[in-house]
C-alpha cells in the first residue's frame, strides 16, 4: 500500500501543479484584459479632451476673442484700480 500512496501523492501534486498553473494563466489573462481596457479608456478620454479643447478654441475664434486671456483668469487692472483711488482721494 505504501507504493500506492506515494503514487497517489505524486498524482495529487501533479494535479495541484496543473491547477495552479491554469489559475495563474487565467489571472494573467484577466489582468491583461483589464489593463488593455483601462488604456483604451484613457486614450478615448484623451481624444475627447482634445476634441473639447478644439471646440472651445473654435468657439473663441468665432467670437473674435482668440487673443484675449482665458475667462478663468481675468486680467488684473492695477492701473484702473489706482486711478479710481486717486480720483476718490482728490
Mean pLDDT estimate for the chain: 82
Does residue 85 fall inside a structural domain?
Answer: no
| 28-55 residue pLDDT tens | 999 999 999 999 999 999 999 999 999 9
Does residue 43 fall inside a structural domain?
Answer: yes
Q: What is the pLDDT of residue 90?
A: 45
- State the cell numbers at 82: 489706482
Does residue 81 fall inside a structural domain?
Answer: no
Domain that holds residue 55: 25-66
- State the cell numbers at 9: 501523492
Q: What is the pLDDT of residue 5?
A: 77
| Burial annotation 40-69 (CB, 10 A radius, 16+ → b, else e) | eeeeeeeeeeeeeeeeeeeeeeeeeeeeee
- Annotate 11-34 with DSSP letters as a single string: HHHHHHHHHHHHHHHHHHHHHHHH
Say whether pLDDT at 89 is over 80: no
Confidence of residue 69 (pLDDT cuts 50, 70, 90): low
Amino acid at each position: 500500500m505504501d507504493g500506492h500512496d506515494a503514487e497517489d501523492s505524486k498524482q495529487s501534486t501533479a494535479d495541484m501543479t496543473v491547477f495552479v498553473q491554469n489559475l495563474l494563466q487565467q489571472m494573467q489573462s484577466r489582468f491583461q484584459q483589464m489593463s488593455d481596457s483601462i488604456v483604451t479608456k484613457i486614450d478615448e478620454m484623451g481624444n475627447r479632451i482634445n476634441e473639447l479643447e478644439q471646440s472651445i478654441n473654435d468657439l473663441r475664434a468665432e467670437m473674435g476673442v482668440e487673443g484675449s486671456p482665458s475667462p478663468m483668469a481675468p486680467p488684473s487692472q492695477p492701473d484702473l484700480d489706482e486711478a479710481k483711488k486717486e480720483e476718490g482721494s482728490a
